[in-house]
Amino acid sequence: MKKSRIHVLIVDDDTTQGQALQQAFTRAGYQVTWCNTAVKALTHAQRMEFHCLVVDCMLPKMNGVDLVEEIRQINTATPPKSFLFSGIFRDKKFIKEAVDRTGALNYFIKPFDMAELLRQVEDAFRGEEGHDDPPLLSLYSNDVMSDTELLRLIQTETTIHSVHLPMLYKRLQGTALSGELTLTSGVGDNSSVLFYNGQVFAVRTPDKDSYFGGLAVGYGFVSPDEVIKALNNPSTKLLGQKLIESMSLSPHAIHVILEEQLALRLSQTLQSGVVSLQWTGGKMPPPDYTLHPQRFEELMADWTRSKVDPTWIKANFALWGSYALEGHVHPHINEAKTIDDLLSHEDFVEREDLPYFFRQLLLGNASIGSSRGSARNWTFMENRLSQLLVEYKSANFFQILGVGEKAQSLELNKAFNDLKEYFDPHNLPAGAPSSVMVKASKVFQQIEAAYKTLSEETARTHYVLVQQNRRAQDILENEPVFRAAIYELQSGHAKEAAKRLQSLIEKKVDFKDLKAYRIWAGLKVDKRYSEITLDQVPPEERHSAPYMMAKGIYHRQRGQVVKALECFRTAHILDPRLLISQSELERLRADLERRGHRDLLREVTSVIDNLFGRGRRVS
C-alpha cells in the first residue's frame, strides 16, 4: 500500500510530542490525524478507517490500551497495525499484557528514536501493495519518492514502455543519485544515461552523428561559411577545436552546444516500444557540464509534441482506468474523476488531449491517485477492446505483450499476468455486458497465443526469425519508395513526393527525416499544410538538411526572409549535394527583387555567390 493511502492515527496528550509525531509521519508521506484525547480519537475512528495507530498508553479518562481495543473492535475486518509508547508504564509485565491485548507490533519507552518508529511502521506495510496497485503508478502520484524507493522501482520494473522514460528521468533528476541507467531496446540496441547527483551529464546512443556544426550555426555562434572553412581544414582535430583556433567560436559557446547535444542524445533514447532497465550506481568525478533542469523541463514539453505518440499514452494509461485523477488534466473537462472518465468523455479528443494530459503529468500539474475500485466504464472498455482487435491484426507477439525481443521468462510472465488481470473474461466483475465478454475473450485469446509462443524456446526462435525477415523485407520494399520521393521532391515534383511520403507514414515505416521531408513536400504543395508541423519533428532530427529546407520554406512563405535565408544556407552546408537549396535561394532573390527590398537582395545575392559562385565546388 502506498504511503499516501495509509492513514495514521496518533493519540498523545503531550502537545510537543504529538506535533512532532504528526510532522514526522507527514514528512514521510503518510496521511496523519493527531488527537490529544481518547474521546476525540474514538470519534474520528467511527467516521473513517485508520490503517495504523500510534498511541500513548497514559491518556486522561481512557488509557491507550483500552482505546486501541475499542478501535480494533470498530475495524474488525482489517484491524489497524498498532504501536504503543509510554514514559510512565515501563514495567515488563504491563508491557507484555498491553501488547497481548492490543496485538501491538511494538512498545516504545519514551524518549524513543523517531526514525526507528518510522522504519518499523514502513516494514509493517511492506509487501501489501496489492495486485491493483502497479509499481509504475508511483511515478505519476504526488508522493515524494526517496532514492531507495526509486531504485527499488527500477529493479522491480526491469522492462517498461518508453512512454514512461520522461517521468523516470524527471524522478531521477530530483534525487542525489550518481550512476548509469542502461536502456536496451526491443531489438537489442543499447543506450545509457549517466547521472551525477541526479543531473544528466552524458548520454550514449547508437547514433554517432555529432550535430555540432548545425548547432553552432543554429545558435548564431558561427556563420555557415566559418563551418565550411573549418570542415575543409585538413586537421584531424574536432570541429569545435578548429573553430576555436580560428577565433570563430568562443570556449564559452562550446558548453552551450555540448549541453544541447546532450539534450538531443537524451531525446534519442525515447523510441517506440519497450526498453529493459538496468541501474549501476557508483561514485563519479564532477562533470564539466550537466543538463540544466530548466532545459530538461523544456525538453519534456517538447517530447509530448514530437516523440510521444498518443497511441502509446492511451495503450499504457488505459490499463489504469479505475485510478483517480488529481489536478488539472484537461483544458475544460473538470468532472473526470478517473482515467476511464477522462478517456471516455464525449469532449475528449485523443489526438490533442492525450498529449495535453501526459504533459500535465510530466509537469506535475496533475497526478494519479488511488484506485476507485473495480467499477468500470463498460462503454469505454468495449471501445478499447474493439480498438485492440484492430491493432492486434498488425502487431507482433512482442508488441501484444508489451515486451522487448530479448525479454526473459520473468518479464514475459509479469507482462502476461498484468494483461490477464485486465482482459481475462474470468476476471471481469459480475454484470459485465455480454458484448464486452465476447470481445475480451477474443483479445485474451491473442494475448494467450503470444505468451504461449514466446514462452516456448523452439517456437520463439522460429517466430523471431520470421519477424526479422519480415522487417528486412519491409525495408527492401519501401526504401525505393522513400528514395523516389526524395528525388521527386528535389526535382520539383512535390505533389507526387507528398503522396509517396504519406504512404510511408501510414505504413509506419521508420526512415530518418521522414517527417521533415513530408513537411517540406506538404508546404510546397499547400502553404497551409499543417497535418505534421515543425515542432512534431523529433529534436534530434532538427539539425538535418531536410528539416532546414522545410523550415526555410515555412519562413519564406510567411515573408520572414532573413530566417528563410539562414535556413537555406544551413541546409546547403549540412548537405552540399542538396542543389535544390540553390533554387530556393534564387526564388527568394526573385521575390525580393520584385518587391524592391534592396538591402536584403544584396545579402541573398552575396550568399548565393559565396555558396554557388564561379569556381565554387558544390559537391
Tell which residue, 43, 542, 597, 130, has the closest CA to residue 373: 130
At 612 the pLDDT is 67
Please, which pLDDT band fits residue 358 given cuts at 50, 70 and 90?
A: very high
- In the chain, the amino acid numbered 376 is R
Same domain? 120 vs 160: no
Residues 179/196, Cβ–Cβ less than 8 Å? no
Residues 50/75, Cβ–Cβ less than 8 Å? yes
pLDDT of 300 above 50 = yes
Q: What is the DSSP string of 254-268?
A: HHHHHHHHHHHHHHH
Tell which residue, 237, 215, 245, has the closest CA to residue 570: 215
Tens digit of pLDDT for each residue in 441-469?
999 999 999 999 999 999 999 998 998 88
The whole-model pTM stands at 0.68
Tens digit of pLDDT for each residue in 251-297?
778 888 888 889 999 999 998 888 889 999 988 889 988 999 999 99
Same domain? 294 vs 186: yes
Q: What is the DSSP string of 217-284?
A: HHTTSS-HHHHHHHHHS---S-HHHHHHHTTSS-HHHHHHHHHHHHHHHHHHT--SSEEEEEEEE---
Q: Do the strands 179-185 and 190-196 form a parallel or antiparallel pair, or are they unpaired?
A: antiparallel
Average of per-residue pLDDT across 382-398: 87
pLDDT of 43 above 60 = yes
The domain total for the chain is 3
Tens digit of pLDDT for each residue in 318-332?
888 888 899 999 988
Tens digit of pLDDT for each residue in 513-565?
999 999 999 999 998 999 999 999 999 888 888 999 999 999 988 888 888 88
Residues 533/519, Cβ–Cβ less than 8 Å? yes
Residue that wins the pLDDT comparison between 606 and 372: 606
Residue 203 lies in a domain: yes
Same domain? 121 vs 7: yes
Residue 261 lies in a domain: yes
Q: Which CATH number belongs to the domain containing residue 98 in this structure?
A: 3.40.50.2300
Same domain? 75 vs 223: no
Residue 570 lies in a domain: yes
Residue 492 lies in a domain: no
Residues 338/325, Cβ–Cβ less than 8 Å? yes
Same domain? 53 vs 121: yes
Residue where one domain finishes, among candidates 305, 327, 358:
305
pLDDT of 597 above 80 = no
Residue where one domain finishes, among candidates 305, 339, 365:
305
Residues 321/343, Cβ–Cβ less than 8 Å? yes
Query: Is residue 80 exposed (0-12), middle (13-18) or buried (19+ Cβ within 10 Å)?
Result: buried
Residues 89/118, Cβ–Cβ less than 8 Å? no
Query: Is residue 293 exposed (0-12), middle (13-18) or buried (19+ Cβ within 10 Å)?
Result: middle
Same domain? 199 vs 295: yes
At 533 the pLDDT is 93
At 618 the pLDDT is 33
Same domain? 295 vs 157: yes
Tell which residue, 586, 579, 583, 564, has the closest CA to residue 617: 579
Residue 576 lies in a domain: yes
Q: Do the strands 106-109 and 179-185 form a parallel or antiparallel pair, or are they unpaired?
A: unpaired
Residue 466 lies in a domain: no
At 99 the pLDDT is 93
Reduced to 3 states (helix: H, G, I; strand: E, B; else coil), residue 537 is coil
Same domain? 103 vs 17: yes
Same domain? 162 vs 240: yes
Residue where one domain finishes, among candidates 255, 286, 305:
305
Average per-residue pLDDT for the chain: 86
Neighbour tally for 439: CB within 10 Å: 21
Same domain? 58 vs 110: yes
At 551 the pLDDT is 94
Q: Give the distance from CA 543 to its chain's centroid.
A: 23
Residue 350 lies in a domain: no
Residue 460 lies in a domain: no
Average of per-residue pLDDT across 8-23: 93
Neighbour tally for 228: CB within 10 Å: 16
Please, which pLDDT band fits residue 306 given cuts at 50, 70 and 90?
A: very high
Q: Grid coordinates in use for 46?
A: 467511527
Please, which pLDDT band fits residue 245 given cuts at 50, 70 and 90?
A: confident
Average of per-residue pLDDT across 459-484: 90
The residue range of the domain holding 576 is 558-619
Whole-number Å distance between alpha carbons of 81 and 54: 9
- In the chain, the amino acid numbered 95 is I
Residues 172/271, Cβ–Cβ less than 8 Å? no
Same domain? 82 vs 218: no
Whole-number Å distance between alpha carbons of 264 and 270: 11
Same domain? 121 vs 154: no
